[in-house]
Structure 1
């Protein structure tokens, strides 16, 4: 039904309920849950690598990893290598574009900017590179271990001979997935829906609304089709890029890095960010124009080799358009008054 078997629905609902339970307990509960859910996946992946090394032999395993990570046997043109490099960058940014946009939902709870920078350093480049190396090593070891390259760690675990190991690993993957989904999907969506009508929609109610809507998207169907997944990421990036560009342009150019925090949370028509009936027309127009340009870029032959480029197009377009449209809009003059 809807692309899932009865067992699939059971697994999906179990994970859905786990995520909802963690979210319902509040931000502190989410913080504590992710503090150990994240490292748990490292433990499982390291254990899986050690198991595969023991299965194929330490020396043979290291040779397989080295051979897999070597590009000397890959024949490609300079243009092809450059295209692949750019494609990897654009797809990675498209994938992480949503977390970049909702970063403020978590940075707001930091004690100071030093903690934010330290967390970003260890959590982004260091963690990303370390986990990428660990994942690539696991994939490389599946070739000598099972005779075929396996990219899904869950499938790799299923091929082990120990039922206890399989159960523990699947539970760990489930907990880690719940931790990621709560952070990336629940929290941001709950703030967004709640901000539409804060006096009527509570943070928890907004989160549950997002959870129920996620069922109708049937995300498993997207992941089952790489083409559909890439198209979805590219389309979302064409919308998220302009949002990101507007935020950057507004803070650094239009507002000159000046923000009235009390007015951010004010619903008064006299508030600095009320604009016209609560809507900033410059922002809406910039979003529409930038998103249109970003989507149109996907049809240009010259950009055919760069899927995911829509994020960059939308972001740059918004950064250029928003200051100009704001200068033509009398609603933004109150910001100038605030800066002065």
Structure 2
């Protein structure tokens, strides 16, 4: 044993027991704190990276447009098959105000033949309709063979706005919740393909869209007094939605939830999903031959001066 080592051991032996134990422990705790802090910093950075990676980048306009056009072409093929096969299709779009229901309905319908695709957005019931069977005014809008009907809100008003705002009695509400699954099963047994979508939007995103509507004169009409009242009853609507799902999300008639905070992605996701639920085949394309136009025999077009022409301002 060297003299240096002996001196160290002697020095240690001469110290009180508490002091010997305390000094190394203090150093150990300090070192441990540094290690823990370093691990926490590493964990936080890793968590931030994960959160950042989960945040999807904004969809490029060119990518969105090209994919939308591709899906709309498939919608045209689907409609042609619906007409050919005599199918009857009902698609329900529900969700909070400003969730994007109207936007996706527009993108679905704008490329389809309006003779075979209808949009139904009923207002509040008339005094006469209030005395009818609740589902009666919706039954009048159901499709015939070869038709597609898109409901911008539906009979589920009773489970949502009517319950929250007190537009129906408790007995009327409970009766609806009890009979709604039976009603939908009856529609399906009659041959109707029923699809139900719920557009889910966060409170922050809804706030942003409401503010956009307030600032934009072209969109201000979209914000109704009822929308503002509904905004104040956010939690009550959440409870109503949860109860609605519990009673009407059945195996044969399920609810499909669309993450709607990103409008463009929500539209593409919804249309893409809808195409998987309606069986269709691409019909063979028959070339169209334009007939020869009739010649101007014994006909002379009247001069424009004799007609009321719209001014060419542009």
TM interval, short-chain normalised: under 0.3
TM-score, scaled relative to structure 2: 0.22
TM normalised by structure 1 equals 0.21
Which structure would you say has the larger Rg? 2
Structure holding more strand per residue: 2
